[in-house]
Amino acid sequence: MKENENLLKLDDIHVHYGGVKALDGATVYLNDGEILALMGPNGAGKSTILKALFGIAPVTKGEIYYYGEKIYPVPHEIVERGISFVPQGRQIFKSLTVLENLEMGGFSINSRAVLKSNIETVLDLFPDLRKKLKVPAKNLSGGQQQMVAIARGLVTTPKVLLLDEPSLGLAPKVVKEVFAKIKEINQKHGTSIMIVEHNLQSVLEIVDRAYLLDKGQVVANDTPQHIISSGLLEKVFLAHK
């Protein structure tokens, strides 16, 4: 990666669902080692940015660069490049055990020894899961399922972790734990994190930079402090009330 080059850049992305513009020329970049928040009201296009990167949203125009190289969004190829996605809503594999969920997170890893070692590293981050490895994932609490989903996203030791609403539907105490883990992942492993979140108070405490989106366009790109002091948050959110 060249100096001053972004780790990941989505450039002028347009996504249309039928006649609805979910993204209308949004440009978003992520720097090496930072935690970045994507904020905005419902329908602003936050989750669509993550989906566009993974090839699960219909991109009609725009380009994606990783380490300065243009890439094409094919999910398994994106994972092999070192980008992981933890989708919204604690989407774990319910018919599999916790361990099997983690193994599936490392599907692209061909060496059994590497997979085992990576799972061990992930379990060091989430020690509570160690006791539940043989438990069917569907039997876990909501908070534990979210931990499994995040842990599964880390098995490949990704360079970039994309998190879509990780606090959704969780109790306030669990939300705090989840955000503490996200910060820990970033600090211990240097993982760059892009996070879509409604819980502004919690997310702004841990991020280095944030984008504010509205109607599929970026309306602000700044530090959390500046975005808060600018009054843009209230303006955008109140316009949707």
Partner 1 sequence: MNSIIPQLIVNSIIAGSIYSLVALGFNLIFGTTKFFNINHGVISTIAGYTVFALSKTYGMDVWLSIIIAIIFAGFVGYLSEKFVFLQMRKKRASGMVMLVGSLGLFTALQAIIAIIFTSQFQTISTDVGESKVYNILGGIITQTQLIILAAAISITVTLALTMKFTKFGKAVKAISDDVEVAKIVGINANKIIARVFFIGSMIAGVAGIAIGFDTGIEPTMGMNLLLKGVIASIIGGVGNVYGGVLGAFFLGFVENFGIWKISGEWKDAIAFGVLILFLIFRPGGIMGKK
**Using CB under 8 A as the criterion, which residues of the chain lie in contact with partner 1 when the complex forms?**
54, 56, 75-76, 79-80, 84-85, 87, 91-96, 100, 103-105, 107-108, 152-153, 156
- Looking at the Cβ atoms of 77 and 205, the one nearer to partner 1 is 77
- Give buried/exposed letters for 62-85 (b at 16+ CB in 10 A, else e): bebbbbeeebebeeeebbebbbbb
- Looking at the Cβ atoms of 108 and 121, the one nearer to partner 1 is 108
Residue 96's nearest CA partner among 86, 85, 108, 105 is: 105
CB of 37 to partner 1, least distance (A): 20
CB of 196 to partner 1, least distance (A): 14
- Looking at the Cβ atoms of 72 and 107, the one nearer to partner 1 is 107
CB of 148 to partner 1, least distance (A): 12
H or E element in which residue 217 lies: strand 217-222
CA distance 33 to 185: 11
CB of 105 to partner 1, least distance (A): 5
Q: Both tokens of residue 35?
A: 């935690």
- Looking at the Cβ atoms of 91 and 187, the one nearer to partner 1 is 91
CB of 55 to partner 1, least distance (A): 8
Question: Crossing angle, helix 142-154 and helix 98-105, to 10 degrees?
Answer: 30
CB of 145 to partner 1, least distance (A): 12
CA distance 240 to 103: 42
- Looking at the Cβ atoms of 149 and 210, the one nearer to partner 1 is 149
- Looking at the Cβ atoms of 70 and 76, the one nearer to partner 1 is 76
Residue 155's nearest CA partner among 195, 108, 194, 193 is: 108
Backbone angles phi, psi at 144, to 5 degrees: -65, -40
